[in-house]
Amino acid sequence: MKPYAEMSREELQQELAELKKEYQKYQHLELHLDMSRGKPCREQLDLSMGMMDALYSGADLTCEDGTDCRNYGVLDGIHEAKVLLGDMMENHPDNIIIYGNSSLNIMYDTVARAMTHGIMGGVPWCKQDKIRFLCPVPGYDRHFAITEYFGIDMIPVPMSPTGPDMDLVEKLVSEDETIKGIWCTPKYSNPQGYSYSNETVRRFARLKPAAKDFRIFWDNAYGIHHLYDVNQDYLIEILAECKRAGNPDLVYKFASTSKITFPGSGIAALATSENNLVDIKKQLKIQTIGHDKVNQLRHVRFFGDICGMVEHMRKHADIIRPKFEAVEEIFDKNLSGLEIGTWTKPNGGYFISFDALPGCAKEIVANAQKAGVKLTGAGATWPYGKDPQDSNIRIAPTYPPLEDLKIAAELFTLCVRIVSIKKILKEKSAEA
């Protein structure tokens, strides 16, 4: 198709009139489709129903070491669960704490603990003049919400297909001791689906922070969430790389089974160095006597080992892969050649990142909502919800049924075309 910018005003106006008629047809359908969050669909949740049979009233709830999972104790999680999630996270069980259902909860607690009690004997962040975090953008809105909640200043860092701009990260971290952390989703990132390159991970491990209490918040939420058996992204293991670089305490690494089993009833984990673990457990033993060991055991009995988990994830991929491919096909069909947007084609994860023409994202999302399709709010992928270009939109294909998703994707591309033409016509009028 001919790029819109190369069309005459008359051609664009004719195109716009036809697109508006098509848009009205969608409005008459009275759609109610939700693509706002990256939630597993019902079919994905059904994959884990067997976990409800893994334990029953007559089951032996005793661990291999004799621990009775029905009772108090075991602050850092049962050994079997640490082995299972350790294999998933590529970390030794001794470097892991098993928590409740949410890795986001662990991240919140980790920031809160640093605010009130500092890190490894350091001055509490709340008693320091200014605290700042680096935020790769576009990024995960819930990461940004945590730091905003605690009043931590956020500094955007541009993302690329190989990860954050490491020249900028290295410069800022080494020169500014008010910078205490950086949010990272290193594999199949939210929202682009990018995975950090080997060089990027190694540069992270070799950072020389001005602040002794600087930490990398490494949210490996999609570590085994591949869409394909081939063309899977590979990520260097960060804790081992930090140890090689002489920076063993630099990273907090987070993961969970939220998009593996039941999002509301999974298990989450933190992996980090021995020094960090000692520091964290001082607070954890005040906060709790131990997390849900019965649920930890349920996961272990259901999967058996990492091989069972990997096979389980293949079933997830079989469900959501056609959805990603359908969205990509519709985007290619309706938008390729028009030069009004670009989008990512990830090998895993839960999102597709779409970049519209500058100044168009909010209007695209609003138009889609008027016609019955709810998208993630424009700006959500930036700190404070403010995308300076007003261009990025996160597409979440997993939750709607495939046929509904196709309708939503068609409508979305229609909205992109309408809003883009309006922008280009306005620019042409200004130039006349």
Tokens standing for 26? 């969608």
Has residue 346 been placed in a domain?
yes
In DSSP terms, 62 is beta-bridged to 68
263 shares a domain with 123:
yes
Task: List the beta strands (DSSP E) in 161-228.
Answer: 163-164, 179-184, 215-219
Average pLDDT over residues 44-60: 97
For 382-422, how does the pLDDT look when each residue is reduced to its tens digit (9 = 90+)?
999 999 999 999 999 999 999 999 999 999 999 999 999 99
Q: What distance in Å separates the CA atoms of residue 76 and residue 99, rounded to the nearest whole number?
A: 7
For 4-44, how does the pLDDT look when each residue is reduced to its tens digit (9 = 90+)?
999 999 999 999 999 999 999 999 988 899 888 899 999 99
Phi then psi for residue 62, to 5 deg, are -100, 135
Has residue 93 been placed in a domain?
yes
Q: At residue 230, does pLDDT exceed 70?
A: yes
Q: What distance in Å separates the CA atoms of residue 367 and residue 357, rounded to the nearest whole number?
A: 15
Mean pLDDT of the chain: 97
Return the SS3 of 231: coil
Average pLDDT over residues 255-259: 97
276 shares a domain with 136:
yes
324 shares a domain with 235:
no
Average pLDDT over residues 301-330: 98
Question: How is the beta sheet containing 352-356 ordered, strand by strand?
Answer: 341-343, 352-356, 392-395
Has residue 157 been placed in a domain?
yes
167 shares a domain with 31:
no
Average pLDDT over residues 231-246: 97
287's enclosing H/E stretch is helix 274-287
- Which CATH number is 176's domain given? 3.40.640.10
324 shares a domain with 229:
no
pLDDT confidence of residue 431? 80
CA quadruple 279, 285, 288, 290: dihedral positive or negative? positive
Q: Work out the percent of the chain whose per-residue pLDDT is above 90.
A: 97
pLDDT confidence of residue 432? 65
Has residue 79 been placed in a domain?
yes
**Which of 304, 321, 348 corresponds to the end of one domain?**
304
Q: Are 142 and 151 in contact (CB under 8 A)?
A: no
Q: What distance in Å separates the CA atoms of residue 389 and residue 366, rounded to the nearest whole number?
A: 16
**Which of 304, 332, 359 corresponds to the end of one domain?**
304
Has residue 342 been placed in a domain?
yes
Tokens standing for 329? 């096909």
Lowest mean pLDDT among 32-36, 227-231, 314-318: 32-36
373 shares a domain with 238:
no
- Which CATH number is 314's domain given? 3.90.1150.10
86 shares a domain with 232:
yes
Tokens standing for 88? 């998933």
For 123-176, how does the pLDDT look when each residue is reduced to its tens digit (9 = 90+)?
999 999 999 999 999 999 999 999 999 999 999 999 999 999 999 999 999 999
Query: Which pTM does this prediction carry?
Result: 0.96
Give me the residue label for tokens 């995308």: 387
Give me the residue label for tokens 């909205």: 415
Domains identified in the chain, total number? 2
Q: At what angle do helices 293-303 and 306-335 cross, to 10 degrees?
A: 80
Average pLDDT over residues 52-76: 96
Average pLDDT over residues 94-120: 97
214 shares a domain with 72:
yes
Segments forming the whole domain that contains residue 11: 4-44+310-431
Q: At residue 1, does pLDDT exceed 90?
A: no
Q: Which long-range contacts (CB under 8 A, 24 or more apart) does 162-167 make?
A: 162/194, 162/196, 162/197, 162/199, 162/200, 163/136, 163/194, 163/195, 163/196, 163/197, 163/200, 163/201, 164/134, 164/136, 164/200, 166/199, 166/200, 166/203, 166/204
For 264-273, how does the pLDDT look when each residue is reduced to its tens digit (9 = 90+)?
999 999 999 9
Give me the residue label for tokens 């098509």: 22
